[in-house]
Amino acid sequence: MHDSTSAKTGTLYIVATPIGNLEDITLRAIRILKEADYIAAEDTRHTKKLLNHLGIDTNLISYYREQEQQRAEQIVRFLEEGQDVAIVTDAGTPAISDPGTVVVRKARERGLKIVPIPGPSALTAALSCAGIEEKAIMFHGFAPAKKTQRKKLLQTLLHADYYAVFYESPHRIEGFLQDAIAALGDRQIFMARELTKNFEELQQTSLSELIVITSSRKSRGEHVLILAPADAVPSKEMDIDDLILWYRDHSSLSLKDSCKTLAADLGVSRSKLYKRALQLWSDDEGTGNL
């Protein structure tokens, strides 16, 4: 791919690959993987299956977390010699809770060219279908494996006013949920599991309900968990006036749609809710959009 007459150094391509469904790869990613001098893969056996599927026979080298420092130096040498290298992980976008950060940093320090080839990411896939309100989002990656460290991190979210996003493995999901409800109370959570795969599952629920669900079955596949801030969802213990005001202040729904939702959730008369909402919902905060 590299033309030694036009440049002295190669390019490091950060290539996103499918997180499940092999059709989720861009035409540009396929071209770069074909034209690169080397593909640096988190697991060469795993990546070989994708390359075989695409009919690509580019040279493969391993780039996995335990040897990230040494492999990064090797890749930088290739780049300085004029070779183009495409780095991939087993699934999704490199350097997003996956290997890739070290080589990117080293290449940047040496002034080498880095080009992102965007594509699949479990993070953006989950956020795109969570339907969360416009609010700040903090991505934490995988929570600490040690319980004490995990609990300490979760406690920092008690009064946070943003959505906290985590990745979690199937064998640690129950521990994470238990620690989350202990630290934060029973707040809302969106769970995306096995994204783009046969057993894809998306659930908007509460921490307590998700604990019941996960404890009653064997979880498979990695999870993306989006924890709502404390004020993002009304508590069932709130009285009706508080609930109406919560929807006025925190929801994008109109007064009419808010009353429809509340009536269905609480099993009460929609007309009575509507009359009370008219009294509480001031003209400048929504009655003009009935």
CB 167 within 8 A of CB 141: yes
- Quote the CA–CA distance of 270 and 261 in Å, as a whole number: 9
247 and 253 Cβ atoms separated by less than 8 Å: yes
284 shares a domain with 188: no
* Residue 1 covered by a domain: no
Instruction: Answer with the residue of higher pLDDT: 238 or 131.
Output: 131
Regarding whether 57 and 74 lie in a shared domain, the answer is yes
Cβ proximity of 211 and 177 under 8 Å = yes
Residue 98 lies in a domain: yes
Domain boundary among 206, 227, 248: 227
CATH assignment of the domain containing 156: 3.30.950.10
Indicate if 193 and 284 belong to the same structural domain.
Answer: no
- The arithmetic mean of pLDDT across residues 128-137, rounded, is 87
Q: Is residue 179 one of the residues assigned to a domain? A: yes
pLDDT digits (tens, 9 = 90+) for 185-207: 888 999 999 999 999 999 999 89
Pick from 134, 157, 242, 229: nearest CA to 188: 229
Q: Are residues 116 and 69 in the same domain?
A: yes
Chain-centroid distance, C-alpha 177: 17
pLDDT of residue 265: 64
Among 1-5, 222-226, 246-250, 265-269, the least confident range: 1-5
- pLDDT digit string, tens, across residues 226-235: 999 976 655 5
Say if residues 181 and 242 touch (Cβ distance below 8 Å): no
- Average pLDDT in the 110-125 region? 97
Same domain? 92 vs 137: no
Q: What is the pLDDT of residue 5?
A: 38
Of the candidate ranges 61-65, 83-87, 92-96, 164-168, the one whose mean pLDDT is the lowest = 61-65
Residue 232 maps to a domain? no
Q: Do 111 and 173 fall within a single domain?
A: no
Q: What CA–CA distances, in Å, run from 200 to 50, 58, 217, 227?
A: 20, 31, 15, 19
- For the sheet with 38-41, list strands across it: 59-62, 38-41, 85-88, 11-15, 113-117
Q: Are both 201 and 278 inside the same structural domain?
A: no
Please identify, among 120, 140, 168, the residue that sits at the C-terminal boundary of a domain.
120
Number of domains in the chain: 3
Is residue 178 scored above 90 in pLDDT?
yes
| Percentage above 90 pLDDT, the chain | 61
Residue 142: burial class (beta carbons within 10 Å; 0-12, 13-18, 19+): middle
DSSP-assigned states of every residue in 64-86: -GGGHHHHHHHHHHHHHTT--EE
Question: What distance in Å separates the CA atoms of residue 277 and residue 67, rounded to the nearest whole number?
Answer: 61
| Same-domain pairing of 128 and 219 | yes
- What is the residue-averaged pLDDT of the chain? 87
Other C-beta atoms closer than 10 Å to the C-beta of 175 total 15
Q: Pick from 33, 17, 8: which is nearest to 83 by CA?
A: 8
C-alpha 8 chain-centroid distance = 37
| Per-residue pLDDT, 1 | 59
Distance CA 142, CA 167 (A): 5
| Whether residues 210 and 271 fall in one domain | no
Q: State the pLDDT confidence band at 86, using cuts at 50, 70 and 90.
A: very high
User: Would 19 be classed as within a structural domain?
Assistant: yes
Q: Within this chain, do residues 176 and 204 fall inside the same structural domain, yes or no?
A: yes
Q: Which of 120, 136, 170 is the last residue of a domain?
A: 120
Within a domain: 45: yes
Q: Which domain holds residue 214?
A: 123-227
Q: Is the dihedral of CA 119, 124, 130, 131 positive or negative?
A: negative
**Rounded mean pLDDT of 63-80?**
91
Residues 109, 161, single domain; the answer is no
CATH of the domain at 63: 3.40.1010.10
Answer yes or no: is pLDDT of 286 > 70. Answer: no
pLDDT of residue 3: 47
Q: Is residue 2 part of a domain?
A: no
What lies within 8 Å, CB to CB, of 133 at 6+ separation is 232, 250, 251, 252
Token representation of residue 80? 């300085």
In this structure, are 105 and 140 located in the same domain?
no
In a domain, 233, yes or no: no
Determine if the pTM surpasses 0.95. Answer: no
H-only helix segments in 83-172? 101-109, 122-128, 147-155
